[in-house]
Protein backbone atom coordinates (compact mmCIF):
# COMPACT_ATOMS: atom_id res chain seq x y z
CA UNK A 1 0.00 0.00 0.00
CA UNK A 2 1.33 3.43 -0.92
CA UNK A 3 0.52 5.04 2.43
CA UNK A 4 2.76 2.54 4.25
CA UNK A 5 5.86 3.74 2.39
CA UNK A 6 8.11 6.71 2.96
CA UNK A 7 7.00 9.75 0.93
CA UNK A 8 8.22 9.63 -2.68
CA UNK A 9 9.99 6.30 -2.19
CA UNK A 10 8.53 4.94 -5.42
CA UNK A 11 8.88 8.17 -7.40
CA UNK A 12 12.53 8.47 -6.37
CA UNK A 13 13.22 5.27 -8.32
CA UNK A 14 11.65 6.75 -11.46
CA UNK A 15 12.43 10.47 -11.45
CA UNK A 16 15.66 12.43 -11.21
CA UNK A 17 16.69 13.43 -7.72
CA UNK A 18 16.42 17.09 -8.73
CA UNK A 19 12.70 16.64 -9.47
CA UNK A 20 12.14 14.86 -6.15
CA UNK A 21 13.98 17.63 -4.29
CA UNK A 22 11.90 20.29 -6.04
CA UNK A 23 8.70 18.64 -4.84
CA UNK A 24 10.01 18.22 -1.30
CA UNK A 25 11.30 21.80 -1.04
CA UNK A 26 8.22 23.47 -2.45
CA UNK A 27 5.53 24.55 0.03
CA UNK A 28 2.98 24.02 -2.77
CA UNK A 29 3.13 20.24 -2.43
CA UNK A 30 2.02 18.21 0.56
CA UNK A 31 1.30 14.58 1.40
CA UNK A 32 -1.47 14.31 -1.21
CA UNK A 33 0.93 15.43 -3.96
CA UNK A 34 3.55 12.99 -2.75
CA UNK A 35 1.01 10.16 -2.87
CA UNK A 36 -0.02 11.15 -6.37
CA UNK A 37 3.57 11.18 -7.60
CA UNK A 38 4.23 7.76 -6.07
CA UNK A 39 1.00 6.43 -7.58
CA UNK A 40 2.00 7.70 -11.02
CA UNK A 41 5.48 6.23 -10.62
CA UNK A 42 3.98 2.86 -9.75
CA UNK A 43 1.22 2.74 -12.36
CA UNK A 44 2.88 4.45 -15.34
CA UNK A 45 6.62 5.01 -14.81
CA UNK A 46 7.45 5.49 -18.50
CA UNK A 47 4.75 8.13 -18.94
CA UNK A 48 6.02 9.91 -15.83
CA UNK A 49 9.59 9.89 -17.17
CA UNK A 50 8.34 11.36 -20.46
CA UNK A 51 6.50 14.10 -18.58
CA UNK A 52 9.69 14.90 -16.66
CA UNK A 53 11.63 14.95 -19.94
CA UNK A 54 9.21 17.60 -21.21
CA UNK A 55 10.48 19.80 -18.39
CA UNK A 56 10.37 19.94 -14.62
CA UNK A 57 8.00 22.92 -14.74
CA UNK A 58 5.52 20.89 -16.80
CA UNK A 59 5.79 17.93 -14.43
CA UNK A 60 5.34 20.10 -11.35
CA UNK A 61 2.44 21.98 -12.93
CA UNK A 62 0.62 18.75 -13.77
CA UNK A 63 1.23 17.44 -10.25
CA UNK A 64 -0.07 20.63 -8.66
CA UNK A 65 -3.20 20.50 -10.82
CA UNK A 66 -3.92 16.88 -9.84
CA UNK A 67 -3.22 17.59 -6.17
CA UNK A 68 -5.69 20.49 -6.17
CA UNK A 69 -8.41 18.46 -7.92
CA UNK A 70 -8.09 15.51 -5.55
CA UNK A 71 -7.93 17.75 -2.50
CA UNK A 72 -11.10 19.60 -3.53
CA UNK A 73 -13.04 16.37 -4.09
CA UNK A 74 -11.81 14.57 -1.00
CA UNK A 75 -12.37 17.56 1.28
CA UNK A 76 -15.82 18.38 -0.14
CA UNK A 77 -18.92 17.56 1.88
CA UNK A 78 -19.84 14.76 -0.52
CA UNK A 79 -16.31 13.37 -0.55
CA UNK A 80 -16.03 13.41 3.23
CA UNK A 81 -19.43 11.72 3.58
CA UNK A 82 -18.47 8.97 1.13
CA UNK A 83 -15.12 8.52 2.86
CA UNK A 84 -16.79 8.29 6.28
CA UNK A 85 -19.10 5.56 4.92
CA UNK A 86 -16.04 3.41 4.30
CA UNK A 87 -15.14 4.15 0.72
CA UNK A 88 -11.44 4.30 -0.10
CA UNK A 89 -9.98 7.51 -1.50
CA UNK A 90 -9.66 6.03 -4.99
CA UNK A 91 -13.32 4.98 -4.87
CA UNK A 92 -14.44 8.47 -3.86
CA UNK A 93 -12.38 9.95 -6.70
CA UNK A 94 -13.85 7.44 -9.17
CA UNK A 95 -17.40 8.32 -8.08
CA UNK A 96 -16.60 11.96 -8.89
CA UNK A 97 -15.10 10.89 -12.24
CA UNK A 98 -11.60 12.04 -11.30
CA UNK A 99 -8.89 10.13 -13.11
CA UNK A 100 -6.04 9.04 -10.88
CA UNK A 101 -3.86 8.09 -13.83
CA UNK A 102 -1.30 10.38 -15.40
Structure confidence by residue, pLDDT tens digits, 4-59: 678 899 999 999 999 999 999 999 999 999 999 999 999 999 999 999 999 999 99
Tell me if 53 is assigned to some domain: yes
Give yes or no for a contact between 61 and 26, defined as CB atoms under 8 angstroms apart. no
Residue 32 lies in a domain: yes
100 lies in a domain?
no
Residue 101 lies in a domain: no
pTM above 0.95, yes or no: no
Sign of the dihedral through C-alpha 56, 58, 60, 66 = negative
Range of the domain at 46: 2-95
CA 18 vs. chain centroid, Å, equals 18
Amino acid sequence: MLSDRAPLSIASNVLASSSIQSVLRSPSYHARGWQILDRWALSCPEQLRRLEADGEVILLGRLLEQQEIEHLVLSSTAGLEQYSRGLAEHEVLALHEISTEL
